[in-house]
Copies of this chain bind each other. A is one copy, B any other.
């Protein structure tokens, strides 16, 4: 049971090993151009984190690993904070291309405490009500992002598509739970 799926189920190779998090970093640098870790963190939290969550400490560490595998190159800012700026190398671009155009996918993974509680015998009604609120908020958030990228630069096509997927997903979840709650309310007061 692989909980932390990367690309190959670890080819044992070591510094060459690329996880989903690696590709998240590579993709963002391709989109944004040379970036500092903080640029990446900001962008991540408004986009990828919605379907591929990464804690910020892991995220700050990832570029360092990718430099070691020479998928990224690193420059130092001249003045100010002298922050590190990362760019894609050819190897990085290649790896990204190969991954992106391969049809292989690791299984989707859900961690849903609500269903866990229902399994354990918890009352579904308050659980679904909580979740409805959450999905409503998420839906509003994603619709906001979607408006923010509403140009037609083809480089952002994927970004727009994934946001549309997210909107559709949350709307579906929300409607399904609302239907359930209504049906319960109806059968509760006959």
In the complex the two chains form, is A27's CB within 8 Å of B120's CB? yes
Contact A114 to B119, CB < 8 A, known contacts A3-B54, A54-B3, A55-B3: no
In the bound complex, residues from chain B placing their C-beta under 8 Å from that of A126 are: 103
On whether A158 and B119 interact (CB within 8 A), knowing A131-B108, A134-B107, the answer reads: yes
In contact, B134 and A122 (Cβ under 8 angstroms):
no
Question: Given contacts A120-B23, A172-B176, are A115 and B2 in contact (CB under 8 A)?
Answer: no
Q: Which of B96, B101, B112, B120 contacts A158 (CB 8 A)?
A: B120
- Whether the pair A121, B24 counts as a contact (CB closer than 8 A) is no
Q: Say if the beta carbon of A38 comes within 8 Å of chain B.
A: no
Evaluate whether A130 and B108 lie within 8 angstroms (CB atoms) in the complex, with A1-B54, A1-B56, A176-B172 already known.
no
Residues of B contacting A110 in the complex (Cβ-Cβ under 8 angstroms): 50-51, 53, 108-110
* Chain B residues, CB < 8 A from A20: 111, 113, 116
Q: List 26 A-B contacts (CB under 8 A).
A: A1-B45, A1-B56, A3-B53, A3-B55, A47-B119, A51-B112, A51-B115, A100-B117, A100-B120, A100-B121, A100-B122, A101-B122, A103-B126, A103-B129, A105-B113, A105-B127, A105-B130, A105-B131, A108-B111, A108-B114, A115-B165, A118-B161, A118-B162, A119-B158, A119-B159, A168-B176
